[in-house]
Every structure is written in C-alpha cells, then in structure tokens.
A = this chain, B = another copy of it.
C-alpha cells in the first residue's frame, strides 16, 4: 500500500530509535559546539571526572570505544587543557587520567547546555515518561549485549 511516507518502517523499534537518535545527536552537537566538545568528548570527560586516575583502556571499555580510537580523543582533551595524562607509578605502561580545574569548569558549562538540550528534547514527557523510556532503552541494550 502506497503512503508516500515511512509507515512501513515505523512499526520497527529499531527505526524509531535511529530517527530519534539522529535528531537528538544533531541537537546535542550543536549545543556542545560553543563548549568545544562533541558527544564523545563530553562522555569521556564525564567518565574521567567521575573516576579520577582512570586509565584510557578502562574509559574505552566503559564507553565501548576501541583503544586506538580512544588515543585521539584523549589527545584532543589533553591538548585543550581539560585533562592531564600522567604515568602510573604502579604500572609504568599505563596513564592516569585526571580533569584539570579548567576541565572541571568546562564540564560544568557543558552540563548546563546538555541539561537544556535534554529538557528541549524531552519536552512533553513527564518525569515518569523519562524514567520509563530510560528503563525500556536499557532493557533493549541488555538484550543486544546478551548476544555479543
């Protein structure tokens, strides 16, 4: 049946997730741009700030990023003066990552922008709706990871 629309695909949860994610990512990157961050650098900065001294490989594991790709992300954050990379005393192969004061300030600014972005993207959703949504999304993720 011809509809001229994407009705055939709207039955799929996967399609709806992709469309929502694309719209959301566009808005997020726009709102992070003034802070000099992207979705991935914002995520990494958050993880480092929440886990002082964490290693690159641990960040990579948490965010499911390949280690080679993590290197350039860490480079970018270090060169921007947002994090420090210091050799571990206990394991001289590894680096310990910390947010700088500048990084903490930047993170605070970025979090404010992201909070506004989240409010904008979840307009019309109640707090209960948001909880339900996050819960259902995490169930889907868990169903997928069970297959890895």
Contacts and interface: CB of A to CB of B under 8 A. Distances in A.
Interface residues of A, number: 65
A8 B107 CA distance: 12
Nearest to A12: B118
B13 A133 contact: yes
Number of copies: 2
A79 interface: no
A143 B121 contact: yes
Contacts of A132: 132, 136
A109 to B, nearest CB: 16
A123 interface: yes
Interface in A45-95: 46-47, 49-52, 54, 58, 62-64
A24 B20 contact: no
A102 interface: no
Interface of A: 1-10, 12-28, 39, 43, 46-47, 49-52, 54, 58, 62-64, 114, 117-118, 120-125, 129-130, 132-134, 136-141, 143-145, 147-148
Q: Rank and list the top 10 A-B pairs by shortest CB-CB distance, nearest first.
A: A23-B144, A20-B137, A16-B137, A8-B50, A20-B141, A20-B140, A23-B141, A133-B136, A21-B21, A8-B46
